[in-house]
Amino acid sequence: MKKITKISSQQHAERYNLFLDEAFFCGISEDTLVKLGLKKGMEIEEETLRALIEEEGRNQCFHYALWLLERQNYFEKVLRNKLKAKEYTEEQIDFAIEKLNSYGYLDEERLVNAFVNDKKRFSKKGPYYIKEALRQKGVSTKKITEALNTQYSEEEELENCKLAAEKKLVSYRRKESNMYILKGKLYSFLMQRGFGADTIAKVIELVLKENNE
Total domains in the chain come to: 3
The whole-number average pLDDT for the span 31-46 is 87
The whole-number average pLDDT for the span 61-85 is 94
Asked whether residue 53 falls in the same domain as residue 94, the answer is: yes
The DSSP string of the chain is: -EEEEEEEE-SSTTEEEEEETTEEEEEEEHHHHHHTT--TT-EE-HHHHHHHHHHHHHHHHHHHHHHHHHHS---HHHHHHHHHHTT--HHHHHHHHHHHHHTT---HHHHHHHHHHHHHHTS---HHHHHHHHHHTT--HHHHHHHHHHH--HHHHHHHHHHHHHHHHHHHHHH---HHHHHHHHHHHHHHTT--HHHHHHHHHHHHHHHH-
| pLDDT at residue number 186 | 94
Q: Above 80 in pLDDT, residue 79?
A: yes
Q: Above 60 in pLDDT, residue 213?
A: no
Asked whether residue 94 falls in the same domain as residue 57, the answer is: yes
Asked whether residue 73 falls in the same domain as residue 139, the answer is: no
Of 96 and 33, which is predicted with more confidence? 96
What tens digit of pLDDT does each residue of 48-58 get?
888 888 988 99
| pLDDT at residue number 177 | 80
| pLDDT at residue number 65 | 96
Asked whether residue 8 falls in the same domain as residue 97, the answer is: yes
The CA distance from 138 to 196, in Å, is 22
What tens digit of pLDDT does each residue of 146-182 get?
999 999 999 999 999 999 999 999 888 888 788 888 8
Asked whether residue 167 falls in the same domain as residue 135, the answer is: no
- Kindly report the average pLDDT of the chain as a whole number: 92
Asked whether residue 206 falls in the same domain as residue 116, the answer is: no
- Reported pTM: 0.79
Of 145 and 15, which is predicted with more confidence? 145
Asked whether residue 132 falls in the same domain as residue 91, the answer is: no
Of 99 and 33, which is predicted with more confidence? 99
| pLDDT at residue number 48 | 86
Range of the structural domain that residue 68 is part of: 2-102
